[in-house]
Copies of this chain bind each other. A is one copy, B any other.
Amino acid sequence: MTAVRLLGLDPGLRFTGWGILEADGNRLRHLADGVIATDSAMSVPDRLCALHQALSALIESFKPDEAAVEETYVNRNGTATLKLGYARGVALLVPALAGLPVAEYGAKHVKLSVVGTGGADKEQVAMMVRRLLPGATLKRADASDALAVAICHAHHRATNNAWMKGKVMA
């Protein structure tokens, strides 16, 4: 089995966490992580453009083979959910435009896969991400969830092809 390069994304209009790892069977290797921030003083269309351009540049630089996007739940209000939807739409679109298969995983499913319990908190996720990916410094906390969804995808892609059929793993 040859190594595949996976891009994990935890999208948001304000901050989109990203992480890239290489999976070679069960062996995972951290390559890079970070956060794309958009300026809340800019209009929403301009912020979506900025997100689009940053994601396109990431994909061009790191040339990942597959992408995985976290499906976060929001129970605040319609406007907040709609705005999260804009960012997720762009996060799903850009890798697909680049020809990458894109998998989606629910937040609980990511936690279950990485920590072993769907109710894990952010610190537990970050701790397990550091343990599974020794190189990850996680200077920026938002990148932790992005690496977690990439790890979750690395586990699933080896054993399960449901994601290939566009099914969200909730």
Which residues of A approach B to under 8 Å, CB–CB?
42-46, 48-49, 52, 71, 73-75, 78, 81-90, 92-93, 95-97, 102, 104, 165-166
Contact = CB atoms under 8 A, between A and B. Distances in A.
Instruction: List the number of copies, as a whole number.
Output: 2
A24 to B, nearest CB: 25
A75 to B, nearest CB: 7
Contact of A93 (B88, B90, B95): B90
A96 B166 contact: no
B165 A95 contact: no
Given A48-B93, A85-B89, 4 more contacts: A44-B104, A44-B166, A74-B82, A93-B93
A66 B47 CA distance: 17
